[in-house]
Amino acid sequence: MIAARMRKPDAVELYLASLAATAIVYVAGIAFLAVMSYFAANGGGWQQVAQTVFVVGVIGLLFAAGAAFMIVAPLGAAFGLMVLKISPPGWWQGPLTGALVAIALEAFVLLFVSREPLEWEWGNAVTLLLPIVLAMMAGAYVQRRILHWPERLPAR
């Protein structure tokens, strides 16, 4: 039973929280790619980091912003509403929603967009797991710091 003071987030709040989580995942992904480009073979260094940040951060932002508003945020709001409806209030709702969104987007890309089958190797595993982990961390942060949900767990 939810205490009278606690109010579940509505669809608009979840949509805006999904936009914030998408921005967090995007910035963390850019930082990860920049760090990886520093250690890249055949050069690397700070010039490669600057180029990666510019290309992914500026040019990729144009495409990512449209996808965030039209695909990722509505998907996050829908999964968030589903998780709120089927589970009791808890700290796991944000990370679970983030993981569901990331898995759904990766499944869509792997099933309908990619043209070659994905072969099992560690690089592919890390590439698949990184967005899921980042989305879980962003979901936890957004749940606690932006949505302030749950403010306090109900007494048992």
pLDDT tens sequence across 76-91: 999 999 999 999 989 9
Domain boundaries, the chain: 11-146
Q: Are 132 and 101 in contact (CB under 8 A)?
A: no
For residue 47, is pLDDT > 60? yes
For residue 69, is pLDDT > 70? yes
For residue 94, is pLDDT > 90? yes
Q: What is the distance between the alpha carbons of residues 109 and 48, in angstroms, rounded to a whole number?
A: 27
Residue type, 91: W
> Torsion-angle region of residue 148: left (phi > 0), alpha (psi -120 to 50) or beta?
left
Whether the model pTM is above 0.85: no
| Average predicted confidence (pLDDT) for the chain | 85
Alpha helices in the chain (DSSP H): 11-38, 45-54, 60-67, 73-86, 93-108, 122-141
Half-sphere exposure for 100 (CA within 13 Å, toward CB): 19
Q: Which of 26, 124, 34 shows the shortest CA–CA distance to 67? A: 26
DSSP 8-state code for residue 121: -
Q: What is the pLDDT of residue 154?
A: 52
Q: Are 77 and 18 in contact (CB under 8 A)?
A: yes
pLDDT tens sequence across 104-137: 999 998 888 888 877 888 888 888 899 999 999 9
- Measure the CA dihedral 25/94/83/69, to 10°: -30
